[in-house]
Structure 1
Amino acid sequence: MEPDLFTAAAEERQEKDPAGSPLAVRMRPRTLDEVVGQQHLLKPGSPLRRLVGESGGPAGPSSVILWGPPGTGKTTLAYVVSKATNKRFVELSAITAGVKEVRAVIEGARRATGGYGKETVLFLDEIHRFSKAQQDSLLPAVENRWVTLIAATTENPYFSVISPLLSRSLLLTLEPLTDDDVRGLLRRALSDERGLKGSVGLPEDTEEHLLRIAGGDARRALTALEAAAGAALDQDESEISLQTLEQTVDRAAVKYDRDGDQHYDVASALIKSIRGSDVDAALHYLARMIEAGEDPRFIARRLMISASEDIGLADPNALPIAVAAAQAVAMIGFPEAALTLSHATIALALAPKSNSATTAIGAAMDDVRKGMAGPVPPHLRDGHYKGAAKLGHAQGYVYPHDLTEGIAEQQYAPDALKDREYYTPTRHGAEARYADAVEWTRQHLGRKRS
């Protein structure tokens, strides 16, 4: 039996009895115009609209790869394409399916096309979990247009999808849904005939908590709304109270206004806890930000700043860890991004601390602002142009690599700053070796002690 028969039967039941389907299914867009977010993909004449035949141009490739974080509408777009083009919709997950299941769907698609002229959209979720050999099995179907393949991935397809398949596909990048996107979807679900039909209201504080719970995931938002609405109606409530929502989803509403004092206070407390090496307090504030629905990219940016501001050369690995965390967060999103942020927060909190990089650049910039600059010493000026030698530029410059110790006793700073010292290293962690190095180099540069 083909694996898509179950999907087809389920869709038929949902169309006949939509009230018995989950809210997220009932509110699934039927056209591209009903899709929430992704406006950069939905402009008139876009490749996606050509794919569904809304443009007079060619339909384009029969394979599409949707790349984006969870909950951004990859399955929805595949479903809309199938409906708009009147094609069968078959869904497989690379987590549970293998080559056998793929071949069965492809064979079923060929029979459907030849038997009653019904083409097939094959939606393959999490294609990055397929091996190279498994992805290779899709190529004949794509090349011969036996199916319209729509593959979804949360990982960079240039690393996770084989080149032959990628080159034959239209790559569409999906952006995370904004709070306004999800808010619009919730309000539509409350009033729409396919949704809750105005049976219950949603106060502002409850809506805000729903948005935090959703974390930009439309399906999660609708699932939580449906559960809370059911609980409210069971209790004869005309509105979904915050208490009802908290009880239904088992998530307390964190007092945290992303545009107000709480946002800055908790972010400040996180950084100061890292600076103070209190890993447990830092994790507490990180958890509050995550539970409140804070943008993970904002948290990652703060960690990168802390790595240079408070740790610096005491642990040179701190900044690479923070940067790697920011890159990972941008690729995976919540909820998994919480693990990455925890990893980085713990590493930074337990690292030896030094603010020498912060104070050094601060002192140097302060002098510049005071006008303490002066001309560049002649021997350091550019000497590559004709006439530079006549001006004395680059004359007398000593090339350090020509010397045994690799350091030349010559003046580098302008005259007004030749004895100024900005960098004052600590002896915390790895910076101890920098402290020894700066003392040695200053001596060999012939610098006077300030």
Structure 2
Amino acid sequence: MKKHILTLVTLGVFGNFGLYADTLQHLDVDLGHHHHHHGSDPVEFHANVGIFGKSSAFASARDNARRDSYSMLYSHILMKAQAFETLDFGLGITAFAPFSMDTNFAGIPFEYIGSKFVTNNAYVAFEKKFENIDFGIKAGRFEDEFDWVGHSLQGAYGYIQNPYAKLYGLWVDEQAHITREFSTDFNFYQQMYDNKNLFVGGLNLTLPFVEFAPFVYHMQDFFDVFGGKIILSFGRINSWHTSTLVHYAYLNSAFSGAMHQDHDHEHDDGHGHITGERGDTFLAWLEQTIAYKNFLEFGAGYQKIGNDVFELANMGSLSRFEAHNHSHNSFGVIQPGGMHSGSQTTNMYDLHTDTIYGFIDIGFSKGAIEILGRDSRSTHRTQSAYSLGVRYSATLDLELGLIGVYMLENKKEEQTGTINRSFGKAYIQYSF
């Protein structure tokens, strides 16, 4: 963290998806689903060790996406300590050790997933609850997910809420992307946004059957985003229920018509970020979900991007396709991967892109199955991806997951025709 005294105390809490709020995973532990609590003990300890692998062996030989094939050992440890009932401390580390990877693609040397040892949790949090109002603050490095920023954050957030309204704010000094699949250092803003800061604020209003959630994002000297979402929810969580999401965001860019200069680190680490011509743009998103208890969920969605890239998605999103460790639904199936996925990075946020998608989730006693389909089209690029994912918990602490993705892409300006970018991912993980 920067060597200056933090004088900014902000109000914040992460946004939620209405019905999905009850099913989100605990976000402080980013590499697993099992958590070992010790009742009233002042210290909690969580750890995960596992093997992750990704293969593009079935991709087109013409494209030869070897850079997206690798395997590695990974581990994550988090210790939380409590003092005075209202004060919490957290310290977590993540380590990666690849044992199979290609470090040279198309003559460009890089490490897609290097050996890393990252201190990605080091925070202090204060929370106080009264009869009808709660408030809290957290500062340091921590794992949280907001609508358009997530993974590992360095900064501060806080919130104040009652049963019907929640006011929040967030300051992000720096950000890293640390998941089960790969790890970056806390230098994302340094490399992409000239060491500037991101500020977030919003309000969640919860009423019977409907939630209103306006928000604002400000990246110093780069862009401002104004938007919000409306969620209509009907039914009971222990029976049939539905959720309708309407999400809109307008991005006002400070660099209209300008390209990302010297900030494309797609070739540095192979992960891929949205780069291209900057400018004012918008995102419009509609999703309809129907579910039965925690057994079945299905639905479809549509998303449209305006005249330029929606670069706020570089910071993270709650898309069903994002390569997060924690699922954004209760089924916890390994995600196919959206942003930061090398040559398989989604084009959902490119300029003039229309996306339609559908999904089916089925849960059973020891696991889940997820089917996802997406088609994203613009005047420059077409991308279709269809995936089948499975998660199985052999015991309470041993879990495995795998997914296969059939993916086709056509970049019209390159006149190479349709390229097969299919890939698969798998992991086995032990938690204690």
Q: Quickly name the TM-score band, shorter chain normalised.
A: under 0.3
Structure having the larger proportion of residues in helix: 1
TM-score (norm 2): 0.21
Structure having the larger proportion of residues in strand: 2
Query: Relative contact order: is structure 1 or structure 2 higher (C-alpha 8 Å, sep ≥ 6)?
Result: 2
TM-score (norm 1): 0.21
